[in-house]
């Protein structure tokens, strides 16, 4: 194993361009899990991002929130303005692992890891985040909602570094994030749903419900249509147009669909007149 420790973005992207198989590492809260057992990773080259001071911190730009790639959950929790403008970032951050994970885990790492269970990705996608990808070839900005193409497959090419995540400063009305885990803290989502009412209509994002985190367009259409919904069960078919949850160690596909329907139904009842 070897480690490269660049101090500037230029150096970092040059390294990735020269050695596309090298693995960027930020907080390590995905990459280091069960580290002693992950012998295949011990053969790799890592690019340590922790010295890239340019990627630290978050700022407001033209009303948008721009988070450098090293922004952690804890950084976000300390920022009160985020709590007012994008409350779901706080809601999700508080529920990612526990404090020891929040202080190390980065939003960009959550995006980069591409787990279908990622809570950060769910709320970022609900807020229509844009992912800034930098390489020696230049800067690409990709909407997060189009970022994933398959299980742990994304538009990021191996030579690209995620350098920032940008959230457009749109005003939202209802904003809800529900995370269902096997316990109240330190749990990986069995189901997650982020629901926001944007000027253009409802945005619903589900995690742990499909091979990738995704927008639930069929559900959104129903919410936007004003069609009456009489029970949670009435949402099952719509949900299944959007996602295909599986049985795994953490839960069952059936539970996931039914509970997602129940969360939508009960949580939105107060906000959507057609839900009776």
Ligand X SMILES: Cc1cc2nc3c(=O)[nH]c(=O)nc-3n(C[C@H](O)[C@H](O)[C@H](O)COP(=O)(O)OP(=O)(O)OC[C@H]3O[C@@H](n4cnc5c(N)ncnc54)[C@H](O)[C@@H]3O)c2cc1C
Distances (CA, A) of 154 to 133, 141, 158, 162: 12, 13, 10, 12
Q: Which listed residue (15, 69, 82, 257) binds ligand X by CB under 6 A?
A: 69
Give the C-alpha separation, 71 to 73, whole Å.
7
**DSSP letters along 213-254, please?**
-EE-HHHHHHHHHT--B-SGGGGHHHHHHH------SS--HH
Binding at 96: pick from ligand X, another protein, none (beta carbon under 5-8 Å per type):
ligand X
CA distances from 38 to 24, 95, 188 (A): 16, 26, 20
Tell me whether residue 147 or residue 265 sits nearer to another protein (CB atom).
Answer: 265
Stretch that binds ligand X, among 34-42, 81-89, 104-112, 215-223 (CB under 6 A): 104-112
Residues in 237-266 at the binding interface with another protein, rule: CB under 8 A: 249-252, 255, 258-259, 262-263, 266
Told to check if 234 binds ligand X by CB under 6 A, we report: no
Is residue 23 a contact residue for ligand X (CB under 6 A)?
yes
Which residues inside 157-196 make contact with ligand X, applying CB under 6 A? 161-162, 188
Give the C-alpha separation, 49 to 46, whole Å. 9
Stretch that binds ligand X, among 18-26, 60-68, 123-131, 239-247 (CB under 6 A): 18-26
* 46 within 8 A of 22, measured Cβ to Cβ: yes
Cα 140 to Cα 131, 137, 164, 213, 252, distances in angstroms: 8, 9, 11, 21, 38
Q: Are 167 and 86 in contact (CB under 8 A)?
A: yes
Buried b (16+ CB within 10 A) or exposed e, 129-148: bbbbbbbeeeeeebebbebb
Write down the least CB distance from residue 48 to another protein, Å.
Answer: 6
The interface mask with another protein, positions 185-204, x = CB under 8 A, is xxxx--x-------------
Nearer to another protein, 15 or 164 (CB): 15
Other C-beta atoms closer than 10 Å to the C-beta of 87 total 16
30 contacts ligand X (rule: CB under 6 A) = yes
106 belongs to the binding site for ligand X (CB under 6 A):
yes
Residue among 244 and 269 whose Cβ is closer to another protein: 269
Do 127 and 86 meet the contact criterion of CB atoms below 8 Å apart?
A: yes
Kindly indicate which of the ranges 2-10, 27-35, 137-145, 165-173 contains the residues binding ligand X, using the contact rule CB under 6 A.
Answer: 27-35
Consecutive H or E run containing 180: strand 175-180
Which range, of 28-36, 74-82, 232-240, 262-270, touches ligand X by CB under 6 A?
28-36
Q: Return residues touching another protein (CB under 8 A).
A: 1-7, 11, 15, 25, 27-29, 32-37, 39, 42, 45-46, 48, 50, 74, 94, 97-101, 103-104, 180, 182-188, 191, 249-252, 255, 258-259, 262-263, 266-267
Residues at the interface with ligand X (CB under 6 A):
23-31, 33, 49, 69, 96-97, 101, 104-106, 108-110, 112-113, 118-120, 161-162, 188
């Amino acid at each position: 194993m070897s480690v490269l420790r660049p101090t500037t973005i230029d150096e970092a992207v040059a390294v990735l361009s020269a050695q596309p198989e090298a693995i960027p590492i930020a907080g390590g809260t995905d990459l280091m899990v069960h580290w002693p057992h992950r012998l295949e990773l011990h053969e790799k080259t890592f690019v340590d991002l922790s010295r890239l001071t340019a990627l630290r911190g978050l700022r407001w730009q033209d009303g948008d929130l721009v988070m450098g790639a090293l922004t952690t959950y804890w950084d976000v929790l300390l920022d009160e303005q985020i709590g007012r403008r994008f409350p779901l970032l706080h809601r999700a951050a508080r529920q990612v692992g526990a404090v020891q994970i929040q202080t190390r885990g980065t939003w960009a790492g959550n995006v980069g890891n591409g787990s279908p269970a990622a809570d950060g990705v769910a709320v970022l996608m609900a807020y229509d985040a844009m992912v800034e990808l930098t390489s020696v070839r230049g800067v690409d900005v990709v909407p997060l909602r189009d970022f994933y193409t398959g299980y742990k497959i994304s538009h990021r090419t191996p030579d690209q570094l995620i350098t920032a995540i940008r959230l457009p400063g749109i005003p939202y009305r209802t904003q809800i994030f529900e995370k269902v885990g096997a316990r109240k803290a330190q749990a990986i989502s069995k189901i997650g749903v982020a629901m926001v009412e944007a000027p253009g209509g409802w945005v619903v994002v589900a995690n742990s419900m499909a091979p990738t985190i995704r927008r639930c367009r069929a559900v959104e259409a129903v919410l936007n249509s004003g069609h009456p919904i009489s029970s949670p069960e009435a949402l099952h078919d719509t949900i299944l147009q959007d996602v295909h949850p599986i049985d795994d160690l953490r839960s069952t596909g059936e539970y996931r669909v039914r509970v997602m329907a129940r969360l939508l139904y009960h949580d939105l009842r107060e906000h959507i007149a057609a839900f009776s």
